[in-house]
Structure 1
Amino acid sequence: MAFLQHQWRQPAHINGLLALICFALVAIALVLEWVGGMEPCPLCVFQRIAFIAMGVVLLAGMVVPGRSVAVLTVLACLGGIGLAGRHLWLQSLPADQVPACGPGLDYLLGVFPVTEVITLVLSGSGECAAVDRVLGVSIPAWTLLTYGVIGGLAVAANLRGRRAAGGQ
């Protein structure tokens, strides 16, 4: 039993577990979409991309844990926090201040350059103001919380592992 406890303290194992959580969250979002009928708004899709980016970095951290994994995870995490914060802000607007609904993300990607699509999505639209809840909490609030927890754990694991290894 002590061997298992020691092994799960290794940054590579923690990175693997956190990567699995990131990918599981994206899978849950897909289930909510396909089975639960919750159509994602463009900001939701971008938040999924942030989780995927975090997961990919954390997978790489299974091979080479350390400061770079912590930094890259935090960058993806901060992007996700910004997206979730913007999403929550749109959801908090009074009905008369909600922006008009825009075209879907598929249409935008087919018509506009990627940089303009990003600008349009970040400006928000009416469908992003709709509030879908899981266990009584809005989905962007859950993602905001989750970005913070995963990012914090990734930083702690990868920087602690670095100090434990003698500062390599």
Structure 2
Amino acid sequence: MLRWRLGHLALSIFCASTIVFALYLERTQFLSPCPLCIFQRVGFITFGLLSFCAAAIPLPKMSRFWPIVLTLVGLAGAGVAARHVAIQYFIDPSKLPSCGPGLNYLMETQPWLQVFKGVLTGHGECGVIDWSLFGMSLPVLALLGFSGLIAATWGIRFWQAKA
């Protein structure tokens, strides 16, 4: 069980560090997150909290449950990140709708499903690449992060099963 706890604690720390880095970019570099970026942050926060719960509650019966739940959350986050990558690299910016109202306003005035559909459609602000690391934009890094989290989740599961 120690392998299980340490592994999931490491995943939680990774998720927390992605959020801290996103807040650093927002506060010090003055990068405003678009709605898709906010959804990716929610994905990392959810994955991190669930991974922390998996570390805190390592019941033998739950060792099959946690990887499945974490994989579903990771796939949702990766899907949002993949859509963001597609908007940035593969869709002509002139075909994107202009910047609409903020996410807070949309969540207050529209049903959740309509907000989610509107956010995934993308806006002009989602197609802008403001910052990159090694030539990769933040959504590409988020996609790699979610993919790595999913792989690490199953790696922890099989690593723990061998013990």
Moved over 6 A (4+): none
In structure 2, how many angstroms separate the alpha carbons of the residues matched to 1:77 and 1:132?
24
* Counterpart secondary structure, 2:29: coil
Deviations along 1:116-141, whole A, 9 cap, x unmatched? 21111111111111112232310000
TM-score (norm 1): 0.87
CA RMSD in angstroms, aligned pairs only: 1.6
Q: CA deviation at 1:34?
A: 1.3
- Alignment correspondent of 1:72: 69
- Alignment correspondent of 1:115: 113
Matched residues, number: 157
In structure 2, how many angstroms separate the alpha carbons of the residues matched to 1:60 and 1:99?
40
Residue type at the aligned position of 1:90: I
Work out the percentage of aligned pairs sharing the same amino acid.
Answer: 32
Q: CA deviation at 1:9?
A: 6.9
TM-score (norm 2): 0.90
In structure 2, how many angstroms separate the alpha carbons of the residues matched to 1:45 and 1:79?
13
- Are 1:91 and 1:128, in contact at CA under 8 Å, matched by a contact in 2? yes
Deviations along 1:74-96, whole A, 9 cap, x unmatched? 11110011001100111122232
Of 76-85 and 102-111, more deviation after overlay is shown by 102-111
Residue type at the aligned position of 2:75: L
Question: CA distance change for structure 1 residues 9 and 132 in 2, over 3 Å: closer, same or farther?
Answer: farther
- Are 2:3 and 2:159, in contact at CA under 8 Å, matched by a contact in 1? no
- Alignment correspondent of 1:127: 125
In structure 1, how many angstroms separate the alpha carbons of the residues matched to 2:50 and 2:5?
12
Q: CA deviation at 1:164?
A: 2.6
- Alignment correspondent of 2:147: 148
The equivalent position to 2:82 in structure 1, one of 79, 82, 85, is 85
- Alignment correspondent of 2:3: 10
- Alignment correspondent of 2:137: 138
- Alignment correspondent of 1:44: 37
For structure 1, which runs of at least 5 residues remain unmatched after alignment? 1-7
Of 94-103 and 40-49, more deviation after overlay is shown by 94-103
Residue type at the aligned position of 1:143: A
Deviations along 1:7-58, whole A, 9 cap, x unmatched? x970110100110110110111011111111100000000000001110111
Q: CA deviation at 1:110?
A: 1.8
The equivalent position to 1:33 in structure 2, one of 20, 26, 38, is 26
In structure 1, how many angstroms separate the alpha carbons of the residues matched to 2:108 and 2:119?
14
- Are 1:43 and 1:121, in contact at CA under 8 Å, matched by a contact in 2? yes
The equivalent position to 1:94 in structure 2, one of 76, 92, 101, is 92
